[in-house]
Amino acid sequence: MTIDKIGIIGAGQMGNGIAHVVALAGYDVALNDLSKDRVEAALATINGNLSRQVGAQKISEEDMKSALARITYAEDMDALSECDLVIEAAVEDEDIKRKIFAELCPALKPEAVIATNTSSISITRLAASTDRPERFIGMHFMNPVPVMELVEMIRGIATEDVTFSEAREFVKSLGKTVAVAEDFPAFMVNRILLPMINEAVYTLYEGVGNVEAIDTAMKLGARHPMGPLELADFIGLDTCLSVMQVLYEGLADSKYRPCPLLVKYVEAGWLGRKTSRGFYDYRGDAPIPTR
């Protein structure tokens, strides 16, 4: 099957980044979210990010205009009916993803492929909730999508070879590098990254160091471009907690137990940059540590 038109469900941080790179690669994109306002906000973000690429001379003004023209608003699932591939990039919540697939499947043509951008949830289990597990695959983009070069690809137990091949060629056409992971909780990147972030939160929780000291230690002592607590705020503390819960429940190992302080921040609604408060307070001119 030739993949020409792409549907994307979810216009948040990940969804708008995926729409950006897919449209820039020459594909038509139908972008869906709960409201038109969210899609318009995503288009404004994409416009800003493309403008920065033009300013850095990475793309031309014509490339930017063409990419923006390829992205249209999909009001409902029926608007995705002609898509060859639909990428789900909703919140990291299995129940929500299952509801999306239940609405999506009846609208799609039989040969269409469904991909999920989940960063931790079982591909096999999600695929089993659809009418096409053999045409279902994990396609985990890294954040921020326009900058990061990697896409983790994960097959469910029922994913057919042809589905995997088509999806891999599509990812390569975006200029991304594929890393193939087995269908285990959190796959590869987050299986390694999120426990490190969780351990940084434990280090803060136990009073070993404050926010600034922990982030400085890892940036200067381990050459990390961003400290683990700063990175947690960038990812979203709710997403960090969701991934740790998947690891803890899926592998039944106490080393993956989410730090109580991470739970407390999420309960407070301090989710990081997207809510202007997390391990840093972003409401002023410069971020200020909250502990």
Asked if 152 is an active-site residue, the reply is yes
Q: Side chain identity at 262, as an amino acid letter? A: L
Contact 279, 203 (CB under 8 A): no
Distance of alpha carbon 155 from the chain centroid: 17
Q: Which of 122, 140, 166, 242 is catalytic?
A: 140
Q: Which of 190, 198, 230, 242 is catalytic?
A: 190
Q: Which of 119, 120, 122, 242 is catalytic?
A: 119
Asked if 140 is an active-site residue, the reply is yes
Cis peptide before 144 (omega within 30 of 0): yes
Asked if 190 is an active-site residue, the reply is yes
Q: Which of 152, 166, 230, 242 is catalytic?
A: 152
Asked if 47 is an active-site residue, the reply is no
Helix (H, G, I), strand (E, B) or coil at 60: coil
CA–CA distance, 176 with 247 (Å, rounded to integer): 26
Question: Which residues 6+ apart lie within 8 Å of 6 measured at CB?
Answer: 22, 27, 28, 29, 30, 83, 84, 85, 86, 87
CA 284 vs CA 4, 98, 113, 215, 227: distances in Å: 44, 39, 44, 20, 20
Residues marked as catalytic: 119, 140, 152, 190
